[in-house]
Structure 1
């Protein structure tokens, strides 16, 4: 079971929190092993602060009231749950006042918890201004990262040891993942699900949430999962779900038609009308896209071809040449 802990800070944006929480909650409803938890940023009594804390100290272990940027009050425990290396800590962003301050974005105690979880092998992530909390914990030193486009310059100025990547959805650097503004937290969470459970699982969750499945900002943002899902044919979506989950395996047309609940001829006609591709061509696009990713990570063409289901690397070479 993977615990996903959301750190609540004063002035947080609701969508920064609700978007990723909805992804992992939907994943849990679908049977994936996720459990959500929430903790409020809170300095321990006597915890030293280099500068004034961003909000008044609340004695632990009483629950802490957190007021959001949109005015909805939230409440979360101050005590952190026990974490393992497989768990995720995610820091949503908060309202940025339009000017830089010298106060740390989170308490020294919280910064130590973030750094300690990462040092123990855990994953930390942020949405929007949450990147400043990771930077305060020292987790962005020497790493690539991103944040909302309006505060990228501020992040670069305040933390010059971080390499700020501009105009991308999110950036993964080891077990530190940072995303851009507001809604990009959904993309980040879908990426985390895809990296742990495969693109098919992420595509199903995205479809349940009625959002697009997106990929890393360093890769083509308009992936095959995105380009060919802008239609309303349930039969075609069902066939695509099966292809997404088993793209590396042989998938006869009759198997796809049975999954879609229509005849082979009807599926071919509807699939082509909805996506502009035949089911086989769609599967080939997925294979090609995954093969390109593997090659970009250092795999040979032969190795990548076998990994994505091609029995002959010549087919992969022909598809790459064609595109």
Structure 2
């Protein structure tokens, strides 16, 4: 796992609870599984009222942050023209960005980032009702009808549930798609929904099902330290016959366990090759004798 990364959620007045709770739940669950996240909250006042009527407590002093830390601004519902955040907090967000920090938004949070000058010359998205408002900011390329966008250190999402999608994407980026899939399974949400044109990991695409046996098999097959397993051996580890496992797995994922395992290993080998390993080195690292095993095969 990577070193601890702090996530600071900045609370505007009239904040939407789901915009806060969704990403926070993903990140805290990931931390419970060993990911290096700590989550904190900051606001203009010790108590911040949510649009749903629940009051939220937060620190009023901006903490010391490292460039690798993430500042996340959730959305809010307030009178037209309201920035949601004070000029002081907007300057803090911009300062973190200028220092090389990572910044993210959910829903109307993109408007705060635009007001802070973070989105100038960059691509972003927001809730479809707020797209016309975001387009008023010069230099912002606004994408409509996507769940989230990721451009270097900048991440924006459309709102409400898409904040969960964005947080899962961040977990996959920071700690790998296998952990993101485990988090999604724990929260009983889809492991992957398309953000924009970002690459889809086989570990996430084939996790959008509710079959516990198939999930447990994928937990084993996703582990890069596991060598290739026969269907019968995998079934015995899970307490079922290979035939029963295959039936469940194909019904849930559309792939046989063998085809899924090959896809996972090819994806991992591709990542290693992109980082400088030769194809032979990458093949051995994922449990194959040589690179010929990485060639596509029919299921």
TM-score normalised according to structure 1 size? 0.78
Kindly indicate whether residue 18 of structure 2 is the aligned counterpart of residue 3 of structure 1.
no
Once the two structures are TM-superposed, the CA of residue 288 in structure 1 deviates from its matched residue by 6.0
Once the two structures are TM-superposed, the CA of residue 105 in structure 1 deviates from its matched residue by 3.9
Aligned pair in 2 of structure 1 residues 170, 313: CA closer, same or farther (>3 Å)?
farther
1:259 and 1:252 map into 2 onto residues whose CA distance is 10
Please show how residues 150-161 of structure 1 align to structure 2 within 5 Å.
150-157=129-136, 159-161=137-139
Deviations for 1:80-127, whole angstroms, at most 9, x for unmatched residues? 122112211111100155x4x2x5442221112112212223211100
**Kept after mapping to 2: 8 A contact 1:124/1:175:** yes
Q: Secondary structure at the match of 1:89?
A: strand
Aligned pair in 2 of structure 1 residues 105, 72: CA closer, same or farther (>3 Å)?
closer
Once the two structures are TM-superposed, the CA of residue 312 in structure 1 deviates from its matched residue by 3.4
- Structure 1 counterpart of 2:153, from 162, 168, 175: 175
Please show how residues 131-280 of structure 1 align to structure 2 within 5 Å.
131-157=110-136, 159-214=137-192, 215-219=194-198, 225-232=204-211, 234-246=212-224, 250-253=227-230, 256-280=234-258
Kindly indicate whether residue 26 of structure 2 is the aligned counterpart of residue 23 of structure 1.
yes
Once the two structures are TM-superposed, the CA of residue 176 in structure 1 deviates from its matched residue by 0.8
Instruction: Identify the range of structure 1 (163-172 vs 26-35) with the bigger mean alpha-carbon deviation.
Output: 26-35
Once the two structures are TM-superposed, the CA of residue 26 in structure 1 deviates from its matched residue by 0.7
TM-score normalised according to structure 2 size? 0.84
2:184 and 2:178 map into 1 onto residues whose CA distance is 10
What is the alpha-carbon root mean square deviation over aligned residues? Answer: 3.2
Once the two structures are TM-superposed, the CA of residue 2 in structure 1 deviates from its matched residue by 1.5
Q: Counterpart of 2:39?
A: 36
Aligned pair in 2 of structure 1 residues 122, 229: CA closer, same or farther (>3 Å)?
same
Unaligned runs of 5+ in 1: 43-62
Once the two structures are TM-superposed, the CA of residue 179 in structure 1 deviates from its matched residue by 0.5
Aligned pair in 2 of structure 1 residues 83, 224: CA closer, same or farther (>3 Å)?
closer
Aligned pair in 2 of structure 1 residues 258, 121: CA closer, same or farther (>3 Å)?
farther
Unaligned runs of 5+ in 2: none
Deviations for 1:157-187, whole angstroms, at most 9, x for unmatched residues? 1x12111111111111111100011110001
Aligned pair in 2 of structure 1 residues 292, 312: CA closer, same or farther (>3 Å)?
closer
Q: Secondary structure at the match of 1:282?
A: helix
2:173 and 2:200 map into 1 onto residues whose CA distance is 16
Once the two structures are TM-superposed, the CA of residue 298 in structure 1 deviates from its matched residue by 12
Once the two structures are TM-superposed, the CA of residue 18 in structure 1 deviates from its matched residue by 0.3
